[in-house]
Structure 1
């Protein structure tokens, strides 16, 4: 049986856990004391191996997809996570983004899932990008229009602006090419070829959005220096970082540590980069000393096993 699902979810969760202890530290601070492995306590005072909302909401989506594609079920799981600590590492929610928090409140009040997320320009944090990866395994064989529509709906539970949606779309298109066995650079270039064509056909992006996403959609991102790659919570920065890191590092460990040491939104940058790096390198390349202390590992492994049976990849 293929291990892409296991590699994606463990790659994401381990990256998340590496970043949790130093979330909000600046790149300058981390340059003085770079993260080289799992740490304990730190920003959120959590044991080593603890993952955050990034993994929690990823696991919620994965679990929904086991039953089928049901946005209300997904919404209920998000609400259960936020208010009852469902799918948390240690029975406690210790981190949640503002847009996600607001959207889940609306979901708890019965808002339709596809309109719960805000759609204003200021609501373009990375809160839907960080959790979207399992959707790939459901939509991988759909045509590109159906893939986009599913990404739009799943993102919109918390982030409904076109910029966030297209960033999620690009991310899953790259992951889809990795799933086909393509090398990172080819996966990226082939993905943006498809995305550019689709966005043009559907007139999805106005000139402002085209300009904002140009560094990614032009293919020129790979030539940026590391100093121009940022670890903030802005969805475009997170996607840029994940793509740049995937192409410019050669091992899973180097990928996620590079992501963490960008500073700021360390857990999410490393989760998003770690999902792609995990898929590319395989879960066997994740250092055993990191995997062995990952919180709730048995529960995650059970979810993964069920997903592998469901999707046969």
Structure 2
């Protein structure tokens, strides 16, 4: 497995931190002064290298997996993040997504982990997609049925809409297939087949299914989508498509995450997911050292990744 956990955790945190200063700025605004390196946010006293809830919740999941798979332990970690500033870059929780807030409140009040998450169109945003990649090394060698069940359970802690769950499966499957095949195009094709099978199995027979571009376009066709037709909103399909599009249209970690965050809108989330994938593809050692130097809690992140590596070998 080499340094897969380090690739994912550092890759995610760097992408998140690059995008945080321009979170929710429109693409046209970002284009006038695009991100080229780590920046802070002076008006909120946020230094360069600060990451958001995307990464905090990813680390909560990763740390919980050090003790095996236990939904209740994951819930405890999420609750500690929200109420006790656990796994936050400066020991202070900020940028709490409102759906995460209500779901974690439900979980804290002894709500079932299988039904606490939001199951409506408002729950079809990218709040579980942003934290799912640390699960990949744990489920890498499992049978499909078990992989899908665990992904569904992890997503459903906060987001249990079918779109969010299928997006999480698609992202994890692309990552797993890349690890196995070492070819982006073949990983994409394998992921497409998985999603098509699940759509048929679950009988998602909507006329205009949200996955139609992901399952209907060839690799070259998807790669060739014009920038104006790639959206980086909080909608889970937009985020998944934007992250894959950035991976397909770049050839290095640096270029992938810069393309991602400069899409604007939900820049740090697209940056985090793209960063996690780019970490898997190119390796954490290709991340610009000047970015790593300012990354909040870098040593703690590396320690967590090393702990996971030692447990999963």
TM norm structure 1: 0.96
CA distance in 2, matches of 1:102, 1:185: 38
CA distance in 2, matches of 1:148, 1:169: 7
Aligned equivalents of 2:43, 2:300: Cα separation in 1 = 25
Change (3 A) 1:133 1:303: same
**Following the alignment from structure 1 to structure 2, what is the Cα–Cα distance between the partners of residues 122 and 198?**
22
**Is 1:26 aligned with 2:26?**
yes
> RMSD of aligned C-alpha atoms?
1.4
Distance change (3 Å), C-alpha of 1:174 and 1:43: farther
Deviation at 1:115?
1.0
Partner of 2:210: 212
Q: Deviations over 1:59-98 (max 9, x none)?
A: 0000111101100110111111011110000011110112
Shift of 1:203: 2.2
Distance 1:5 1:219 in 2: 31
User: Can you give the 5+ residue segments of structure 2 that lack an aligned partner in the other structure?
Assistant: none
Distance apart, 1:114 and its partner CA = 1.6
Offset, 1:42: 5.0
- The whole-number CA distance in structure 1 between the counterparts of 2:144 and 2:296 is 36
> In the alignment, what sits opposite 2:124?
124
CA contact (8 A) 2:4 2:137 kept: no
Equivalent-residue separation in structure 2 for 1:125 and 1:185 (angstroms): 26
Deviation of residue 45 (structure 1)?
3.5
- SS in structure 1 at match of 2:210: helix
Gaps in structure 1 of 5+ consecutive residues: none
Counterpart position of 1:50: 50
Range 119-128 or range 154-163, more displaced? 119-128
Q: Aligned residue for 2:305?
A: 304
1:159-203 deviation digits (Å, cap 9, x = unpaired): 000000000000000000122142222211111112312332x22
In structure 2, the CA distance between the partners of 1:229 and 1:132, relative to structure 1 (3 Å rule), is same
Partner Cα separation in structure 2 for residue 4 and residue 142 of structure 1? 16
8 Å Cα contact 1:192-1:219 kept in structure 2 = no
Tell me the alpha carbon deviations over residues 115-142 of structure 1, each in whole angstroms, 9 at most, x when there is no partner.
1101012211111000001111111111
Q: Kindly indicate whether the alpha-carbon contact (under 8 Å) linking 1:20 and 1:44 is maintained by their aligned counterparts in 2.
A: no
Q: 1:81 to 1:204 in 2, by over 3 A?
A: farther
Cα distance change, pair 25–145 in 1 and its aligned pair in 2 (3 A): same
TM score, norm. by length of structure 2: 0.96
Asked whether the 8 Å contact 1:99–1:125 carries over to 2, the reply is no
Question: What is the alpha-carbon distance in structure 1 between the residues aligned to residue 140 and residue 217 of structure 2?
Answer: 23
Question: How many angstroms apart in 1 are the aligned matches of 2:176 and 2:60?
Answer: 21
Cα separation, 2, equivalents of 1:35 and 1:193: 35
List 4+ stretches of structure 1 deviating above 3 A: 42-45
